[in-house]
Amino acid sequence: MKDEDAMNSEKKWPDCDPLVVKFRDYLRAERNRSELTVRNYTKALESFTAFANSLGEPWTWQSVDDGMVREWVIWMMDEQALKSATVNLRLSGLRTFYHYLLLTQAAKTDPCTRVSGPKKEKKLPAFVRQEDMRRLLDEMAWGEDFEGVRDHLIVEMLYQTGMRRAEMLGLRDVDIDLLHGQLKVTGKRNKQRIVPFGSALAGEVKRYQQLRDETFGTQSVDSPTFLDKKGRPLGAVEIDRLVKDALGRVTQQERRGPHVLRHSFATAMLNNKADLQSIQKLLGHASLKTTEVYTHLSFEDLKKEYESAHPRS
């Protein structure tokens, strides 16, 4: 009869590790975790086992300390080039495993207690370059009917003012001051701000309002400014669709919704030397830190220009 070590050597990991097998059973039976979670946590323990074995020294789950866990985190990031989200998921799996070992008294200490995972990478907001927006708004045909005039105005207004989609949906004619070129925008938590706009946009607004009233009758100043083709208040889905279709004419990037125009507004302002605090007020950000993400966008834009223009870049 083969001894236990020989039998275990013939088994495939993790089945050869009785603690891991019991842990997986515990997740399924007592914690009612999904099979996806069980697989992810198993991958975490498999990753740690591979790392620990690569050190070339004998080890057990009971001998692992926080220094070893930190080295594993660094190994995943540097040697395996894993994203921070994956590293944090695997670290969570190891933490859960040690909670189980403590619960069953299979270990006396948790080496993960003093180990922090890497910070998540911040995804930079998507934006459309100024030249592409100029081509879209100034050179491409939109149509002279109600929908064509409306759609052009919506894209132009979002780009010129940096409004959120919900803020545009809440816009009423009474909020639009054509004489002084400014909008009264109601943002998050019903906070209001004044956003200026130029004479060209004022002309577009006046043209749209006239065409809208000719088509559907004179509207109340307290009614929503933007209507659909049946004269009903325009909805969020319709704005998303028309903006996505419009931006698809000049960019193939995946994100092409109304918020991309808000990012494009902020990036264009910053690239053209606008003060960061002024951009904060125009966007309605409560904190300047929220606005500072656009300094990274501006740098990325500058980097692309450098790489395409400098002869030795």
Active site residue: 172, 184, 244, 259, which one? 259
SS3 track for the chain: CCCHHHHHHHCCCCCCCHHHHHHHHHHHHCCCCCHHHHHHHHHHHHHHHHHHHHCCCCCCCCCCCHHHHHHHHHHHHHCCCCCHHHHHHHHHHHHHHHHHHHHCCCCCCCCCCCCCCCCCCCCCCCCCCHHHHHHHHHHCCCCCCHHHHHHHHHHHHHHHHCCCHHHHHCCEHHHEECCCCEEEEECHHHCEEEEECCHHHHHHHHHHHHHHHHHHCCCCCCCECCECCCCCECCHHHHHHHHHHHHCCCCCCCCCCHHHHHHHHHHHHHHCCCCHHHHHHHHCCCCHHHHCHHHHHHHHHHHHHHHHHCCCC
Catalytic-residue membership of 263: no
Active site residue: 41, 100, 159, 294, which one? 294
Active site residue: 165, 212, 256, 262, which one? 262
Order of strands, sheet of 176-177, starting from the edge strand that comes earlier in the sequence = 176-177, 182-186, 192-196
Catalytic-residue membership of 164: yes
Active site residue: 134, 188, 249, 296, which one? 188
Catalytic-residue membership of 95: no
Catalytic-residue membership of 193: no
Contact assessment for residue 267 and residue 297, using Cβ atoms and an 8 Å cutoff: yes
Rounded to whole angstroms, the Cα distance separating 97 from 141 reads 60
Catalytic-residue membership of 188: yes
Active site residue: 24, 164, 212, 263, which one? 164
Catalytic-residue membership of 285: yes
Residues assigned a catalytic role: 164, 188, 259, 262, 285, 294
